[in-house]
Amino acid sequence: MLQAGVRKGLISDRHEGECLKNVWSVTSRAAFRSKPSSRTRPKGSITATLCPKATRSPPKSSHGGACMTEFRLDLDWQATGDADPLLRDRSAWLAIRLGDACLTRNLDTWSRTVRDNILVSAYPLAMWLAASWWRLSFEPLPAPGPQPDVDWRMAHELGAANHGYVWPRVVFAADGQSINVWAHQADNPKQSANYLCNLDAPRAVLLADFQLGVTRFIEDVIYRAEACDHRSTDLAALWAAVREDMSDERARARRTLEAELGFEPEECPAEHITHALRLQEATGTSAMSELAPIFGKSRHGTALDQLEALKDARGLMGAPQITPSPHTPSPTTPPWQRGMTAARALRKQLGNCGAPINNAQLLDLLGITQSQEAAWQPQQKHPVGIAKPTARGLIDFLPRKRHPIGKRFELARLVGEYMMRTGAESDWLVESDLATATQKRQRAFAAELLCPIDALVEFLDGDYSESAQEDAADHFEVSETTIAALLANNACLPIAESARLPYRVQTQAFQRLDT
């Protein structure tokens, strides 16, 4: 296990200590934020470059439906004239590749040249990747709303690698199956380089492939340091701790839960994670992975009490009239595809390929009576809807939606989750606003079940105007947002500009907050 001094950033070596403070203080982000996010070209010609022409992804789902993609960080070592041996000996031409896209493709504003790689010190990036390993691997994008807090962004935005270099505008977020990657062109004439890579929608990298690419990069940097007589570095110590935790089943489970709750390793208060582990015994591991990011750090941990209340709450008792098909899909199958396929299979089973499905049919599928549903009102506002299996073989449904259209969509999502459950039979079923693979699968299932894309296109008959979409929403009893998303995700309409990044990412996001 990594010694507490290294975990806390209390370093003895002068150069290594400066780098860790400036690049990534594992528990204290204040020192990290004090470093500006870009700088003029320093002595030794260490610079960061960006990408030329925009690189576009295939027109897939804006909610994470891109095809699985290879992820690589390629290094071509080149010593620079920097006075700091830490930077000089670990400088390299770096190219970050995401399938056919090059995230580091850039225009050097001084030489006016375009290239795929950038000349930087690889150490700050390796340090950031090692320190953020668990959160990058297991913490999802927060639910839609205000911009994520600085703590989340520093664990997920590539610009947080900092150390004065200009990094690409890239965001990483896990979804439980893969790592979703967003990239957006950064154009600032005052910077030494401008990155040119634009992805129309996030691309998905299998978690194992992402971790493999990061592992190779970090270990290349460590080997380079050893070859240059920089032994026993903080990066090597931190990475050894990560590897040790990864190899121990109990430690890995704890680190994963800490990350899902929004904490760095060993930073989650003991009473908080103990409470979460106790709740996990009731919810099941798969359900806790969906619940922890919502109830983790919010309101200083008191939100776990709200989850405790949900454990004791009673809702609509039902006996679903559908047969679960919890087969394990290929890891390369995008969640939206599995949801759409399952919805089409259910419609075929019902003998209804394109006509609207009414509320009574949805309730019948869940084994809930119309009188039960009419009398049900959520006692308070909750960020999740859940379904709890009971010892009697029934399911206790606790929906959260109040609006009739929202309630219909939620019921359809619960139908899909019951059919496609991936956890143990006793695990809760969770419906939320997160962008995890489970939630993407649910939303795709509900959209296709309530409004099949083929039936929608036939109904619109070539008219994609706003009024025509409103008519379609009324016909299928779904929201206009659902109609627009279906059309965009199936390449009938362009994907909205807002889908290219999950939130507004500012180039200068990591400059001092007090300036």
Residue 8: Cβ within 10 Å count? 15
d(CA 73, CA 91): 14
pLDDT mean across residues, the chain: 83
d(CA 195, CA 54): 9
Structure tokens at 420: 């496609």
The DSSP code sequence of 283-343 is H-HHHHHHHHHHHSSGGGGTHHHHHHHHHH---EEE---S--------TTS-HHHHHHHHH
Q: Is the pLDDT of residue 87 over 90?
A: no
- In this structure, what is the dihedral angle of CA atoms 385, 259, 37, 12, given to the nearest 10 degrees? 160
Please write the tens of the pLDDT for every residue from 322-366. 988 766 667 788 999 999 999 999 999 999 999 999 999 999 999
Please write the tens of the pLDDT for every residue from 114-149. 999 999 999 999 999 999 999 999 999 999 887 899
- Are the C-beta atoms of 74 and 209 separated by less than 8 Å? no
Please write the tens of the pLDDT for every residue from 39-51. 333 333 333 333 3
Mean pLDDT value across residues 449-463: 98
pLDDT at 133: 99
- Are the C-beta atoms of 105 and 114 separated by less than 8 Å? yes
Give the global pTM: 0.84
Least confident span in 89-98, 187-196, 314-323, 345-354: 187-196
pLDDT at 228: 87
Q: Where are the domains of the chain?
A: 4-251, 316-494
Please write the tens of the pLDDT for every residue from 51-76. 333 333 333 443 344 456 899 999 99
Mean pLDDT value across residues 286-304: 83
pLDDT at 323: 87
Residue 78: Cβ within 10 Å count? 9
- In terms of Cα–Cα distance, which of 412, 409, 423 is closest to 282? 423
The DSSP code sequence of 73-131 is EEEEE-----S-HHHHHTEEEEEEEETTEETT-EEETTTTEEES-EEEEHHHHHHHHHH
